[in-house]
Chain A
Amino acid sequence: MATTGKVVGIISNLVVVKVSGPVSQNEICYINHDAVKLMAEVIRIGSENAYIQVFESTRGLKTGTPVEFTGHMLEATLGPGILSKNFDGLQHDLDKMEGVFLQKGDYTHPLEVDKDWSFKPLAKVGDEVEAGSWLGEVTENWIAHKIMVPFKFKGDFKVKKIVVAGDYKIEDTIAILEDEDGNEHEVSMIQKWPVKVPIKTYKNKPRPAKFLETGIRVIDSFTPIVEGGTGFIPGPFGTGKTVLQHALSKQADADMIVVAACGERANEVVEIFAEFPELDDPRTGRKLMERTTIIANTSNMPVAAREASVYTAMTIAEYYRSMGLKILLLADSTSRWAQALREMSNRMEELPGPDAFPMDLPAIISNFYSRAGFVNLNNGETGSVTFIGTVSPAGGNLKEPVTEATKKAARCFYALSQNRADSKRYPAIDAVESYSKYLEYPEYVDYVSKAISPKWVDNILEARNILVRGRETYEQINILGDDGVPIHYHETFWKSEVIDFVILQQDAFDKIDASTPIERQQYMLEKVLNINNTKFAFEHFEEVNPYFKKIINVLKQMNYSEFESEQFKKFEKELGEIINEKAVVETKQI
């Protein structure tokens, strides 16, 4: 019999329950409040009381209210129909809820129980299978959604029976599996999995090496991310974290995008709701929403569900990874999740760590990041979950606990700079401060020298150097004055400005400039590196600024033009003429 209990204490959304039987840590329970069931999770257990965090407002709740325990942890429901959905943090379908306002206890089914899916078997009777093996597939939007042996199944199984191709509902039995002891197990198209436990039905997890194209020049060309990589974007408010995440979700080369809007503004999710069904995915020509799933727990939604929302999102991403797909998971923002942990820790009167965050925060964060990765599946296919989280450092100070803990866990660091944002140099990623550890992976260098160009990594490092040198020279000029430094100081500085204006800065709101394919990035990077390697003859430092502004202006017009179009070539020719005005030809060829 299921354990029951009675409410004996209420402090905001922390409720104390006197229980009648066994309960487990992180078990889900429901409070029967005024004919409405409020979902809650056990977060601490005392001698006869369980402390539960309620995923709803507890207004009006009284002591003595009965509580039912479910015997399982918070689980995600996995099956066809997840794609294109808008869920809340607990995977309830937001679109199925009635009315304009969220009502307490309005828990909707994440999938469609009545919908027919055209199932095609992949396994045959007699096949040896294990958790995660592909039994069949249905077409979901355009993805071949694999129906797998439930991840909870332990050991080896034999396919005893599998249905023929045809239309089935998600709860229909599509296969019967026999375990080693001869017991039969029915399998349907859906399965449940506890969100806080990683799905590990893969063979191994090698170091990631495949370049993941995002169309954002400062990322692809300077601080690249890989399939199965991890990155994070810390930045003070107003530096463009969300615009950057939206750009990633629109342009990144992935089969599926999972967006966890965790404790951020509701209007930002609305922007996705409004735009994604309209926008085309440049790679497939389909609507962006067809490859996107949104987990929305915005800042005004119950705080306790915020923590759950990132785990729900990760579980969904891992589920699709097991089908051999390339998933990009974006979470905005992990700081809000950490704050939710802090609120609960505070209510439970735990001894606080730095800035009143719980002591185990760094462990929680690195555990979560470690769930991303590139995997080899047991059947020889590969899949990946790439995770990029934003961090909202308090006061813009990168020394705060969430940023520090994340820095240890993530391999790419995209530092957004207040100065760049103030001078409207967007995206405000500071290319010098930011880094990508993947540039140091020999596997990565190998991969891009074949996939992009043998010179690619060298070019990146050279461009980076120019930026560093430009920054140093700028400081010199500021200290010594415009006429206190040799003219070539100005030249060095302005050459770095060319890279800044033409490569680093990108107009996220311009149709063409918003996304730059890698061939074009490579072309333009070579172009600016050539300019950098050209010597110019200047008489006076006052000529330097207007001259390079002209160069930048023409290069920017190129960025705004269709690649290799008439217009593009016209500007390119104009650029050649401007360069010839001042370029010093050192060695005459021929």
Chain B
Amino acid sequence: MADYDYLRDVARQVRRDIIRMVHGAKSGHPGGSLGCADFLTALYFEVLEHDPATFSIDGKGQDIFILSNGHISPVFYSVLARSGYFDIAELGTFRKINSRLQGHPSTHENLPGVRVASGSLGQGLSVGIGAAQAKQLNEDDKLVYVLTGDGELEEGQIWEAAMYAAAHHVDNLIVTVDYNKKQIDGPLDEVMPLGDLRGKWESFDWIVLEMDGHNMEDVVGTLRKAKGLSGNGKPVIILMHTEMGFGVDFMMGTHEWHGVPPNDEEKEVALAQLQESLGDY
């Protein structure tokens, strides 16, 4: 039984980290990061079978996670540090010169927890499929998790990957879509409507689940359900309903905070809404 109150405390601290990192760097992407804080907390602190102390790129015998929408690196780095992949003090170097915490995740600086570079969208799903196929060949029964954005689904490569994963029965793969319905240029439905997203994935022969990305019990429960559905010949995708900027009132309900850092005053207003729980870095 998960300690949901603890998970919520962690997620709140992760949100504080996001605000402070993006403010400190005077650049970065707070909106999507805040929206995925609950999901990544649930994944790394409750669902993922992993051992940060023995991190290796290969990840043999462990679950692995691939972040396809690399611009939400603040939430990824915070969750990695908070779950023990590296010292939380390093979060203060985000996007600064000589840092391992690049603007978008990279393996180039050997940051523990990162297995492939992302940032240019649409590639992480394919990479996760390859990693899952390697696990199948290695008879490694652990799983591969991938997170993508929803705007990212406009990339053609996503649908190449969707066909491929179903054709090759990549059934040790659980993909989550951050379905906040917003992208840089505006609401997704204005920029490029995705239509019947559930129907699209079902027609590609994927198992489709949905969850409320801000309800910790639902996130943990749905991820566990997805895990239970693995190994049945089909890949699984979860449409995760989220709100960009969730947890900071003035960042919600708009796409304006996709890639804009808060100024000093805005940072203080935001942090006042996010009580410190595990201690700031």
A interacts with B: no
Chain B: residues with CB nearer than 8 A to chain A?
A: none
